[in-house]
Amino acid sequence: MIYTLTFNPSIDYEMNLAHLSLSHTNRSTHESYRLGGKGINVSHILHELGFESVILGFRGGFVGDEIQRLIYQFGLNEKLIELEEGTSRINVKVLGKVETEINGEGPLIGGSDMKQLYDQLDMLGKEDVLILSGSIPKCLNDNIYETILSVQNAKGVLCIVDATKDLLVNTLKHHPFLIKPNVAECEEILNESLLTTKQVVEAAKKLQEMGARNVMISRGKEGAVLVDENGGIFESKGLKGECISSVGCGDSMVAGFVAAYLKCSNYEEAFKLAMACGSATAFSEDLAKIEMIERCYNELEVRK
């Protein structure tokens, strides 16, 4: 079974603006809200690709109740732990010529709550996949992913990490199967500029030297690069088209990679489906549907 872990799920309230003027009253042209949280996004795309998963994490308050309702509405599976204190996040995303996000802090996760999560994770075995995605509340330490990965990796669970800064770096010594930083995140980790494809490939190799098995680096409109554990290097340029929203693109890539790898154990194919899913979400108002994913897949080219 595939498990996605989201410590900080949310309701994302999206507002479309023609122009954003600071210190003035702004009126949106359109509003909508949807499930947020990177692991939930991954589960959503996996479901679209025909792969079931279980959403792990925490929910709190009336927002948490709505998160659970929407998960069931979309036909997804969850084992979210209900918190006694605080409420899950409402994130405001302003969409227009420039995208702006205001993310909530998130609820308080206590020791007893974490024990319930660890009890759930104890059930995972070598036939399972665990995807650790996104940020964590301030009440948790930056080594939380490392703690989880050290135990799960030792059991043979296939672990994927999509996180930033120390939350990601701390896990590398435990050899995650896949990490998927973007260029900006790599630049921050390695403290260097990555302007060319060659530089991005070298950055991926450095992250492998730090412990990651496979490194997929997304580059926005420039596409993405994969350096796999066998020394394979794959590149794909971004498809031409109108980017409606970048929200969920990276999560879609992770889902596509995992789905294809579990199906055929081929890194080139996994990378191509990852690119197709990420591009399809960029061209969609919400997370991608299978029709758009298939269209993007047929248009994509992967170069070795």
User: Hey, where are the domains in the chain?
Assistant: 1-19+30-172, 177-304
Whether 251 sits among the annotated catalytic residues: the reply is yes
Q: What is the pLDDT along the chain (304 residues), one digit of tens a residue?
A: 999 999 989 998 989 888 888 888 989 998 988 898 999 999 999 999 999 999 999 999 999 999 999 999 999 999 999 998 889 999 998 887 778 888 888 888 999 999 999 999 999 999 999 999 998 888 888 899 999 999 999 999 999 999 999 999 999 999 999 999 999 999 999 999 999 999 999 999 999 999 999 999 999 889 999 999 999 999 999 888 888 878 889 999 999 999 999 999 999 999 999 999 999 999 998 899 999 999 999 999 999 8
Question: What's the longest Cα–Cα distance across the chain?
Answer: 55
Catalytic residue among 119, 166, 251, 286: 251
Q: Give the predicted TM-score (pTM) of the model.
A: 0.92
Residues β-bridged to residue 178? 160, 214
C-alpha to C-alpha distance for 55 and 43, rounded to whole angstroms: 7
What is the CATH number assigned to the segment(s) 1-19+30-172? 3.40.1190.20
Same fold, 1-19+30-172 and 177-304: yes
Query: How do 178-179 and 158-162 pair as beta strands?
Result: parallel
Contacts of 293 (CB under 8 A, 6+ apart): 48, 49, 256, 273, 276, 277, 280
Structure tokens at 180: 């998927």
- Residue 134 near residue 162 (C-beta atoms within 8 A): yes
Q: How many helices (H) and strands (E) does the chain have?
A: 10, 14
Round to whole Å and give the CA distance between 113 and 83.
7
CATH superfamily of 177-304: Ribokinase (3.40.1190.20)
